[in-house]
Amino acid sequence: MHIPADTSIVILTGAGISAESGISTFRDADGLWMNHAIEEVAHPTAFRRDPALVHEFYNQRRRQLFEVSPNAAHLALARLEQAWPGDFLLVTQNVDDLHDRAGSLKLIHMHGELRRVRCLKCLQSHPWMEDCLPETPCPACGKPSLRPHIVWFDEMPMKMGEITRALSRCGLFICIGTSGNVYPAAGFVQQASRQAHTLEINAEETRIRSQFKETRKGLASCEVPRLVDELLGGMTR
């Protein structure tokens, strides 16, 4: 793939990029949601109704972060960010810390992060790697009013203004490992395709497949490093 070195790149990742690191996706056969109705855990009313259940759901997923590592796909995206001379933005729907640990810096967690909590009273957010309970006091104000720093259904994803601006200016939009079930992320390809080349990498065919100018079917750990090699090898100054 030959694209000019001053091309602005936006990349969107979903649960599929972390699957080979051992983190369950949401909608694959053994997915996370198979054990919980989404309404039970990923909704503000669920948290008001049963904060202990919701905290435990995220505590389990936060504990898993200590057992998993970034895979070749995460590492390849960090390598691309480092070497790419044009603008670069990685937007992830994932709340795990694998992109961070792979070295990605120009990174937006649009659905929040497992390794942060935030206080409903003083609104401060804090780095957090241990379990959090309804009675856990906020490190800033001391009140027992911490919630997972996760964007739940019916809540607004984070940094949408910055993401929308990047999509309107990019020349290449790459979508990796997302099923295209959840908006606004599933609509990013339409926003970008007005001016950008759009490319999807997924292990399966997705419902938004036809909206991409190019699709590559395969595992992220194989296809992403290959794409990064092509981009860096084919970079035209």
Pick between residue 8 and residue 93 the one whose CB is nearest to ligand APR: 93
187 binds ligand APR per the rule CB under 6 A: no
Contacts of 193 (CB under 8 A, 6+ apart): 173, 211, 212, 213
Which of 114, 119, 136 is CA-nearest to residue 62? 114
What is the rounded CA–CA span in Å between residue 178 and residue 13? 6
Tell me which amino acid residue 213 is: K
Residue 33 DSSP one-character state? G
Among 3, 31, 168, 216, binds ligand APR (CB under 6 A): 31
Pick between residue 153 and residue 230 the one whose CB is nearest to ligand APR: 153
Q: How many residues of this chain bind ligand APR (CB under 6 A)?
A: 23
- Between 35 and 74, how does the x/- string for binding to ligand APR read (CB under 6 A)? ----------------------------------------
Residue owning tokens 């399966």 = 204
- Between 106 and 135, how does the x/- string for binding to ligand APR read (CB under 6 A)? -----x------------------------
The residue with its CB nearest to ligand APR is: 16
Binding piece for ligand APR, criterion CB under 6 A, among 20-28, 74-82, 208-216, 227-235: 20-28
Closest distance of CB 31 from ligand APR, Å: 5
Among 21, 104, 178, 198, binds ligand APR (CB under 6 A): 178
211 binds ligand APR per the rule CB under 6 A: no
- Between 135 and 174, how does the x/- string for binding to ligand APR read (CB under 6 A)? ----------------------------------------
Contacts of 39 (CB under 8 A, 6+ apart): 45, 46, 153
Instruction: Residue 169: count other Cβ atoms within 10 Å of its Cβ.
Output: 14
219 binds ligand APR per the rule CB under 6 A: yes
> Is 197 one of the annotated active-site residues of the chain?
no
Q: Which of 55, 99, 109, 111 is catalytic?
A: 111
What is the rounded CA–CA span in Å between residue 170 and residue 3? 12
Peptide bond just before 139 cis, omega within 30 deg: no
Q: Are 89 and 103 in contact (CB under 8 A)?
A: no
Length of the chain as a residue count: 237
